[in-house]
Amino acid sequence: MKQKNIFIAVVVLLVVVFAAGAFMFKQQQAQQAAALAAQNQAALVRADAPTFGNPQAPVHIVEFFDPACGTCREFYPLVKALMGAHPDKIRLTLRYAPFHPGSDAVVKVLEAARLQGKFEATLEALFAGQDTWVINHAADVQRVGPLVQNLGLDMDRLQKDFSTPAVAALIARDLADANTLKVTMTPEYFVNGKPLPQFGFDELKKLVEDELAQHP
């Protein structure tokens, strides 16, 4: 009986030690990510990136996203609802991180649409129809045409702008910035330059609310 109690005590101790170690490791990772973001603000915030909301909002969310990312699609309306709950208090900037195969071509569609003032409508159409053009975790740009052709876009111009060096350079820059900030998955969020301590919408909401409390 005594040996059994000793064994249980050892197991409990090992669990506690492991949990404490895991917590400290996550804390250390969060601190390193925050320091990296603070040192690389130029890579985090680009003035020409697509942005929603009040330009003077006290809370600025920067999201690295991939249009082929299912979690990005799920979080998009949640973030927009969070912005709606705090009118003029939150600004959202989107940065490209097309990690899925073929997704860079879909980003080119988004950028070409942005040149016609149709970025938001195109993004929402792509998210709504994501299951039709993302096959086995790979993006097929040939399948997005039907989703965007009724958005009032000049399709001939869209095809020309799709292939411009400027669009390709912007995507390359965003990917380089993502690499500098060690963004390896999407969506990745920063709130007023601070990365999430742990991924999740609740964590994003809390960080936003903490920043709002500091900027009433």
pLDDT of residue 3: 60
d(CA 41, CA 29): 18
Residue 144 sits in a domain whose CATH number is: 3.40.30.10
Number of domains in the chain: 2
pLDDT of residue 2: 60
13 lies in the same domain as 102: no
3-state DSSP assignment of residue 59: strand
pLDDT of residue 12: 56
Q: How far is CA 17 from the centre of its chain?
A: 33
110 lies in the same domain as 48: yes
pLDDT at 1 over 60: no
65 lies in the same domain as 95: yes
pLDDT at 103 over 50: yes
- Percent of residues, the chain, with pLDDT higher than 90: 79
Distances (CA, A) of 95 to 61, 116, 132: 11, 19, 23
12 lies in the same domain as 72: no
Which residue is associated with the tokens 């998009």?
Answer: 76
What residues contact 87, with CB distance under 8 A and at least 6 apart? none
32 lies in the same domain as 50: no
Maximum alpha-carbon separation in the chain: 81
13 lies in the same domain as 50: no
34 lies in the same domain as 102: no
Q: Nearest CA to 67 among 123, 118, 116, 121?
A: 123
35 lies in the same domain as 83: no
3-state DSSP assignment of residue 74: helix
Instruction: Give the pairing of strands 188-191 and 138-139.
Output: unpaired
78 lies in the same domain as 146: yes
d(CA 45, CA 137): 28
119 lies in the same domain as 21: no
Kindly tell me the sign of the dihedral angle through the C-alpha atoms of 157, 159, 165, 171: positive
Domain residues for the domain of 23 are: 2-39
32 lies in the same domain as 59: no
Which stretches within the chain are classed as H helix?
Answer: 2-39, 41-44, 70-85, 103-114, 119-128, 130-133, 145-148, 155-162, 165-180, 201-214
Q: What pLDDT digit, counting tens, does each position of 159-183 carry?
A: 999 999 999 999 999 999 999 999 9
153 lies in the same domain as 89: yes
pLDDT of residue 37: 72
pLDDT of residue 119: 98
d(CA 205, CA 81): 11
pLDDT of residue 41: 82
Q: What pLDDT digit, counting tens, does each position of 5-45 carry?
A: 565 655 555 555 554 443 343 445 455 666 777 777 889 99
pLDDT of residue 42: 83
In this prediction, residue 215 has a pLDDT band, given cuts at 50, 70 and 90, of confident
